[in-house]
Structure 1
Amino acid sequence: MSVRHLDLLFQPQSIAVIGASSREASLGAVVWRNLVQGGFAGPLWPVNAKPQTIGGIQTFADVESLPHAPDLAVICTPAATIPGIIDALGRKGTRAAIVITAGLRVPSATPGVTIEQAMLDAARPYLLRVLGPNCIGLLAPAIGLNASFAPGQALPGHLAFLTQSGALATAMLDWANERRIGFSNFVSLGDSADVDFGDLLDYLGSDSNTRAILMYVESIKHARKFMSAARAAARNKPVIVVKAGRAPDGAKAAASHTGALAGSDTVFDAAVKRAGMLRVDTLEALLDAAETLAHPQPWRGERLAILTNGGGAGVLAADALQLRGGTPAKLSQESLLALDAALPTGWSRGNPIDIIGDAPVGRYTDALKVLLAAPEVDGVLFMHAPTAIVPAPDIANACLPLMKGAGKPVIACWLGGTSVKSARETSEAQGIACYSTPERSVAAWLQLQDYQRNQQALLQLPEAARPHAASDGAAAPDPHSREKARAIVAQALRDGREWLDEVEAMALLECYRIPTVATAMARTPDEAVAAAAHLGYPVALKILSAQILHKSDVGGVVLGLRSGDEVHDAAIRMRQRVAHDVPHAHVTGYTVQKMAVASGMRELIAGISTDPVFGPVVLFGEGGTEVELRGDRSIGLPPLNDVLANDMVAHTQVGRLLKGYRGKAPADMNAVTATLLQLSAIACDLAGVVELDINPLLAGPHGVLAVDARIRVRTPALPGDGRLALRPYPSELEQSATVDGSAMLLRPIRPDDGERLKSFYAAATPDDMRLRFFLARRVVPHSELARYCQIDYDREMTFVAMDGDAIAGEVRAVCDPDNRQAEFAIQVASQWQKRGLGSVLMDKLLRYLERRGTAEVLGQCLKDNRGMAALATQKGFSVRATDDNLVHMRRVLDASQACDAPDQPR
């Protein structure tokens, strides 16, 4: 990820158009005209090999002829010329370019190299950033920049729109202008050869002029880069996505149930939720969501009250809410009595709250005050249909101050046209989200609800290797069990096998404490009889063949065998059937399993699939032979924790059934979620496992049992955890240390450290907190604690020193997207100050940043924090006091220490 030189792309001081032309309707002519008409204030230089005058300006023959290096170059020349032009621009000093030209993914003059790759090779020595190729261009209305061939200008505003579709860009711009919607930036990415969604999210996520980011996505190239940037941007402002390609065409060829169910669109949806973004289905919904989310209000919960002066409109809104799974607020007795006093006799006495069509202004305000004060109401949908009794502007003027000062979200719906136009405009000007129909208003509320749910998921980034307790109290795999599982996978790969046999699959699950049915392998019918006698009857017999994955489809499964004769006869008949129906299959024998007692158990499916973009994902849903037809499943990106695993279960129909119904005992939910956590650990630990399918996984009151499992293995293309879209907890950074004679554990902070960190801050003296946070504070808010603990290990790091189970000190660093600079902060518990712990923590952090390749470390402290200044001086920082009562600390790191491997324990 990199934001290097993107400021020159979005805020250039000078622009050259390479290929500018006076020929009407040519690409160069349209781009030049848009730039001139956009009102860009800086120098504009047209470049064309054929001398001509464009709008009274003489063209320059080539890049070298330009008077200065332009901050931004817009290139409209034929594809074959692009690499040479990029090289000339780089040598001139330009560091940002927009390549409008299409057709660069064809061979260049260099064998084996496309024109696009040649362009990137030419840009790389100069760190010249390229937007495109094959794009419409870029518009930044606030500075009059229209470096595009879009049919018109964009209005200034505070929404950024990013799109991979050029046709959609022009349509969206035209539509937005009609609706008077403005943009901070309007960007067409085209082929995203260099600048991609991750780069733009990093840049716009911290852009003060951008209130929300809207994206039209067709594909993602670099999943971890995208997820890291999206998580960072979504913490700052709403990021709303509409994606094309919802049909699960890629899943049809999958060999296992999990592969078939985990279609790419489903995985993308899970990624959006995990990143804290919001996904919508249409462009209209994209703009509606932006209107709702761009004016944040305190979120209280999902219970919505509908206030209306029209019964029919209220019923439409209530229907839309309940049909889409929303939650209507149930009014308390206190609220009903308060509304009785404010409303006419005979009002609906329920939700929707119908205040009758003849309502004067006072009735609106009185009813609204009751709902805003009601603790059982989390949000209000305020609806008004025009009447001849009270003008809509009067109602707006009286009610909008209440809405703005509300401690909960309020959405306005002004039904009608001309009569309510002024009220609608006033609402929008006051920052109250406003819609024209009941259905769109409810959809906006549900978007807000989904967004808040996703924001909670954003706070979850658990570690991969932390032990989780199973339902029976057993811990997750110890190092020996993990190595045993790796050995099973390695042996299959050495044998050239793509699938583990059933005995191996069950053994691997047992390494991860997933309960399995007793299983044995037999080569002959006689061995099957002996195995059955050893396991105990009744047993199940299954054919064993690498070419037969779905055994029941070919008569390869017989259940409930109760004697040796039944096992022997079934084995012979089974092999005969398979030989007839699947003659190409190589049968190596049978698996014999103890029959599971399924009474009171529900069939589930749980497993792992590998998405081509986002890597391993964990799947959960209803199992059985008709699993693909039912489609009741949820997807999660590893690593998971308890919250995320429980959320996966809750988002399925079978998850609700597991809680028990109509006298049926609930399943052991801890055992179900523990299984998902162990699958997450497998996905993180075992790079060779690309598909894992437990179907059925039986779940009942006394736990879970894996009855059948398929595991597909493949030599990993990426080493370590690089295949994961989210970097898991880096356990390799843990190390022991001795501080002033006491043993301590130095480790990265974990998501479950929230209470420990809270206690750490609570025990600090007021002066320590002032020196750490530059202001007096006693309590660190929960949201801030969560942010400090649930970090993105790809771009920040916090090390804590553990004195037993208590935090004795912390040091943290946040790196910029280019890894050029890291800002650090440190705090040590009072009882550990002046004992060397601060020095140990700083050494740990500096060593980590050097190995990460960070160029320099920066920090600030108050002038009276002499201990911090002394520690920085000791560690090689330059220390400089300024007139603003601050001390600035800076240290350049040793680039020779950088390596791909993380900091290792010493």
Structure 2
Amino acid sequence: MIVKHPREYVVDKLQYALNPKTIAVVGASRYSTKVGYKVVDGLLTWGYKGKIYPVNPRADKVAGFTAYKTVKDIPDEIDLAFLAVPAHIVKSVLEDCVEKKVKIVVIATSAFKEIGRGTLQDELTQYCRDHELPLIGPNLVGMGSPYLNFNCGFIPYLPIKGPVAMISQSGANLLAALGTSQKDHFGMSFFVGLGNKADVDFCEFISYAGRDENSKCLAIYIEGLDSPDAFIEACRSVDKPIVTIKVGGSKIGEKAAFAHTASENKGTNDAFYDDIFEKAGAIRATTWQEFLDISMALGMQPAPKGDNIVMITNGGGSGLLSCDHFERRGMPMHELAEISPNLAGRIRAYMPMFGSPLNPVDISGTASPVQYKGAFTQVMRDPNVHGILGSICPTAVTDVPAVTNLVIDIYETYKHLGKPFIMECQGGEECQEAIMKLRDHGIPAYPTAEQAVNAMVALYKYGQIKNKK
């Protein structure tokens, strides 16, 4: 249902969705294949420190905890009620939650508006709004935070700690991001699935993330946006980069989005959403990979103060892919002579005579760690350089681990200058290890030139957005 503005009572209570002291799991099960079992198991497995109260009228114990017949029977205050019960029971459980003065409810249950039962969903939503009981969902996978050891839902694992807050209507894509976090060191501060987002809206989680000290960038997956004005208001109030991806715009996708999360897209098109995101000051990604790549960069690095980006590479091919893609993205590279008159001469000292001091700067396939260090140091120290893109191509003489370590050292030494530093490592296992190590030290690193360029372009765009605010 539509919200006109982010509601303060909702934003204030979202803390109980991610950091509750007490949880009632309504529909908690003794059977390992059930969602109600997985919720309790996930809380325990990942180290939740609060109190768990299973609610199951047919059980005395669940996972070793005393089970209660209703939420009202629990002898404690309840911060969060997680509902994994059939749809026809939800209303009576909500009534119990209101009587119990539960602070927030999450409904994992499906079979609401997405299958044509919009009236039922709206009635439940209005009931919760009348009693100022925020409702997250229905039809969602869950939420969590690695900083709080909190995994609440039917979610197999937590992400690694990091800067990106992910707010997603899709549970499947959210789970994909969690898997990417584990596999590729994509760090997250918290994540939440909104599902049908009947009550709690994007705008309220955006406002919450704006206050969360661990969240440096917001990544928002959208299937439908029924409160665009509130979305714009929330985004503009947050002093953090926001990345969006909007799906369901194709003819068949419009129908699929409704069947999935009851998201309505009739009468809208890409231009409609482009306008919303521009007004909101959000950066729109068009592919899932770009969505992840630029969110990570925006969470880790500052925006450049201008478009004087210098690339240092030991591979001419990587440089050519990069400069062409910069131009395709509307941010053409400048030659060193245009950026800083003496910079090319200073870098010449760190390359063989057959190297190229243009931009990209090709220090040649024989480049040693010493040459990389000298070239990177010169561009870092030059006040006319606004950002650095480094590239490693693993020739037989390239010491990838040594170059990786010196990049980390240079970044730590000069990060006070506020220049973004991005790396591309194109190669095999040694480059994959380098990417993981660089990411672990706060440096966005990617396996292809295009990904690295997209990340730098997004940082530049965010700088322009900040200047307009």
Q: Normalised by the shorter chain, which TM-score bucket?
A: 0.7 to 0.9
Matches within 5 A, 1:381-400: 381-389=389-397, 391-400=399-408
Q: State yes or no: 1:196 paired with 2:238.
A: no
The corresponding residue for 1:289 is 294
Q: Using the alignment, how far apart are the partners of 1:154 and 1:310 within structure 2?
A: 34
The corresponding residue for 2:38 is 30
The corresponding residue for 1:243 is 246
Structure 1 residues 107, 283: closer, same or farther in 2, change over 3 A? closer
The corresponding residue for 1:433 is 444
Gaps of 5+ in 1: 252-261, 460-906
Tell me the alpha carbon deviations over residues 786-820 of structure 1, each in whole angstroms, 9 at most, x when there is no partner: xxxxxxxxxxxxxxxxxxxxxxxxxxxxxxxxxxx
Structure 1 residues 383, 148: closer, same or farther in 2, change over 3 A? same
The corresponding residue for 2:192 is 187
Q: Using the alignment, how far apart are the partners of 1:250 and 1:119 within structure 2?
A: 27
- The structure whose residues are more often strand, as a share, is 1
The answer (yes or no) to whether the contact 1:83–1:115 under 8 Å persists in 2 is no
Q: Using the alignment, how far apart are the partners of 1:399 and 1:92 within structure 2?
A: 56
Say which one has the larger Rg: 1
Q: Using the alignment, how far apart are the partners of 2:190 and 2:121 within structure 1?
A: 25
The CA deviation at 1:448 is: 1.9
Q: Using the alignment, how far apart are the partners of 2:48 and 2:187 within structure 1?
A: 17
The corresponding residue for 2:371 is 363
Structure 1 residues 298, 320: closer, same or farther in 2, change over 3 A? closer
Q: Using the alignment, how far apart are the partners of 1:121 and 1:456 within structure 2?
A: 40
One-letter amino acid matched to 1:98: V
One-letter amino acid matched to 2:26: I
The CA deviation at 1:75 is: 0.7
The answer (yes or no) to whether the contact 2:222–2:245 under 8 Å persists in 1 is yes
Tell me the alpha carbon deviations over residues 132-190 of structure 1, each in whole angstroms, 9 at most, x when there is no partner: 11111212232232221224444443321111112322333233322233432211101
The answer (yes or no) to whether the contact 2:303–2:463 under 8 Å persists in 1 is no
Tell me the alpha carbon deviations over residues 552-576 of structure 1, each in whole angstroms, 9 at most, x when there is no partner: xxxxxxxxxxxxxxxxxxxxxxxxx
The answer (yes or no) to whether the contact 1:107–1:114 under 8 Å persists in 2 is no
Q: State yes or no: 1:311 paired with 2:316.
A: yes
The corresponding residue for 2:230 is 225
The CA deviation at 1:23 is: 2.9
| Residue 149 of structure 1, aligned match among 129, 151, 154 | 154
The corresponding residue for 1:418 is 429
Tell me the alpha carbon deviations over residues 772-796 of structure 1, each in whole angstroms, 9 at most, x when there is no partner: xxxxxxxxxxxxxxxxxxxxxxxxx
One-letter amino acid matched to 1:322: E
Q: Using the alignment, how far apart are the partners of 1:325 and 1:425 within structure 2?
A: 29
One-letter amino acid matched to 1:275: A
One-letter amino acid matched to 1:335: L
The answer (yes or no) to whether the contact 2:231–2:280 under 8 Å persists in 1 is no
| Residue 388 of structure 2, aligned match among 368, 380, 397 | 380
The CA deviation at 1:131 is: 0.5
Q: Using the alignment, how far apart are the partners of 1:399 and 1:155 within structure 2?
A: 23
SS at match of 2:342: helix
The corresponding residue for 2:260 is none
The answer (yes or no) to whether the contact 2:388–2:421 under 8 Å persists in 1 is yes
The corresponding residue for 1:45 is 53
Q: Using the alignment, how far apart are the partners of 2:162 and 2:443 within structure 1?
A: 16
Structure 1 residues 414, 37: closer, same or farther in 2, change over 3 A? same
The answer (yes or no) to whether the contact 1:307–1:354 under 8 Å persists in 2 is yes
The CA deviation at 1:385 is: 1.6
Q: Using the alignment, how far apart are the partners of 1:279 and 1:21 within structure 2?
A: 41
Structure 1 residues 113, 244: closer, same or farther in 2, change over 3 A? closer
Q: Using the alignment, how far apart are the partners of 2:217 and 2:450 within structure 1?
A: 23
Q: Using the alignment, how far apart are the partners of 1:96 and 1:321 within structure 2?
A: 46
The CA deviation at 1:394 is: 2.3
Q: Using the alignment, how far apart are the partners of 1:107 and 1:400 within structure 2?
A: 52
| Residue 81 of structure 2, aligned match among 60, 73, 86 | 73
One-letter amino acid matched to 2:111: G
Q: How high is the TM-score relative to the length of structure 2?
A: 0.86
The corresponding residue for 2:127 is 122
Q: How high is the TM-score relative to the length of structure 1?
A: 0.46
Structure 1 residues 349, 231: closer, same or farther in 2, change over 3 A? same
Structure 1 residues 297, 166: closer, same or farther in 2, change over 3 A? closer
Structure 1 residues 430, 107: closer, same or farther in 2, change over 3 A? closer
Q: Using the alignment, how far apart are the partners of 2:322 and 2:404 within structure 1?
A: 20
| Residue 463 of structure 2, aligned match among 452, 458, 471 | 452
The CA deviation at 1:52 is: 4.1
The corresponding residue for 2:272 is 267
Tell me the alpha carbon deviations over residues 656-706 of structure 1, each in whole angstroms, 9 at most, x when there is no partner: xxxxxxxxxxxxxxxxxxxxxxxxxxxxxxxxxxxxxxxxxxxxxxxxxxx
The CA deviation at 1:86 is: 1.0
Structure 1 residues 360, 383: closer, same or farther in 2, change over 3 A? same
Q: Identity percentage over the alignment?
A: 29
The answer (yes or no) to whether the contact 1:80–1:115 under 8 Å persists in 2 is no
| Residue 19 of structure 2, aligned match among 11, 36, 47 | 11
One-letter amino acid matched to 2:227: H
Cα RMSD, aligned residues only: 2.7
| Residue 306 of structure 2, aligned match among 301, 311, 335 | 301
One-letter amino acid matched to 1:140: S
The CA deviation at 1:342 is: 3.6
Q: Relative contact order: is structure 1 or structure 2 higher (C-alpha 8 Å, sep ≥ 6)?
A: 2
SS at match of 2:402: helix
Q: State yes or no: 1:351 paired with 2:354.
A: no
- The structure whose residues are more often helix, as a share, is 2
